[in-house]
Amino acid sequence: MKVAIIGATGLVGRMMARILEERDFPVTELIPAASERSVGKMVAFKNKEHQVVGVEEALSRKPDFALFSAGKDLSLKYAQRFATTGTIVIDNSSAWRMEKNARLIVPEVNGNMLSKDDRLIANPNCSTIQLMVAVHPLQKKYGLNRMVVSTYQAVSGSGQKALDQMEAERNRQNPEPAYPHPIDLNCLPHGGDFLPNGYTSEEMKLVNESRKILSLPELRVTATVVRIPVETGHSESVNLEFEKDFDIEDICEILAKSPGINLLDKPEQNKYPMPLYAVGKDDVFVGRIRSDESLPKALNMWVVSDNLRKGAATNAVQIAERMLEIC
């Protein structure tokens, strides 16, 4: 079982290697690959150091799986080339998510859509993944008319350069900026690039990916993305308008029994989801569950998850595990 990680030296790439090891994925040969500037670096896996190779070299070795996390441009250049050799490609970039013939998969939600013939599978955006894990079991039970989401996203979601900026600011140094403004002691209502409609690319990812994953192309969704000075762990304020009425106790019971969810909803004890709880875990934490008193059949909840694990690396490895079961 040969597994290549494309983008192996990045935050998510290194986490992919860690998750493969933690979940005992049956890797017999790990092929860490990255851009030419990273060739020769070392990546740790199962108590050994593995040397990073170029992407062409990884392609020539014909891996069984290739986990991509090296950005959209590289995925567009190489993902299909790997797939045509028979490699199962799981791509963490935005390159293929909205392609009609590419699966966009959160295993707990729509893993049943995968088939043994799939060779190019897209991993959703980190904020979309945790949102779908929390929303899907409720959507199945009550139907869904509208979804309003505000995300509070950790700096690690922007990569190492952004983490370096925040660390430098905290040390009162002049960093090389990853953001157009300071991030420490600040909040930026800006994720991705601004589009002609006034939304950002990160906000539209939440809209479009949610519709595709839930198979609800006309679902009314609106989103606001905010970057906050937290290292790891995305948080989301979610408002859901259902087709059917609900009982809060039933909502909590459904969520508590749903795969991948950790219900943490004891506000009277000051227990609710926070990034501090989520870091290093694969659960999606859900709490602050309450009826929207301004709108019938509507609900508010708070959703938190580790954006490097379930929001990226873990979800990709879970897709690989599902493909192993199918094939």
- Answer yes or no: are the C-beta atoms of 153 and 127 closer than 8 Å: yes
Q: What is the DSSP string of 137-175?
A: HHHHHH-EEEEEEEEEE-GGGG-HHHHHHHHHHHTT--P
d(Cα 8, Cα 82) in Å, to the nearest integer? 16
Amino acid at 187: C
Annotated catalytic residue 136: no
Sign of CA pseudo-dihedral 198, 153, 204, 7: positive
Q: What are the contacts of 245-249 at 24+ separation with CB within 8 A?
A: 245/142, 245/296, 245/297, 246/138, 246/141, 246/142, 246/297, 246/299, 248/289, 248/290, 248/291
End-to-end CA distance of the chain: 13
Largest CA distance in the chain: 59
Distances (CA, A) of 11 to 167, 185, 199, 212, 253: 16, 23, 27, 27, 35
User: 181 with 106: CB under 8 angstroms?
Assistant: no
Report yes or no: 68 and 56 within 8 Å, Cβ to Cβ: no
- Catalytic residue flag (residue 234): yes
Q: Which two tokens stand for residue 177?
A: 């900026």
Annotated catalytic residue, options 50, 181, 190, 234: 234
Q: Which of 234, 217, 248 is nearest to 279 (CA)?
A: 234
State the pairing for strand pair 2-6/29-34: parallel
Residue 240 pairs with which residues in a beta bridge?
Answer: 147, 299
Residue 71: exposed, middle, or buried by beta-carbon count in 10 A (0-12, 13-18, 19+)?
Answer: middle
Active site residues: 126, 234
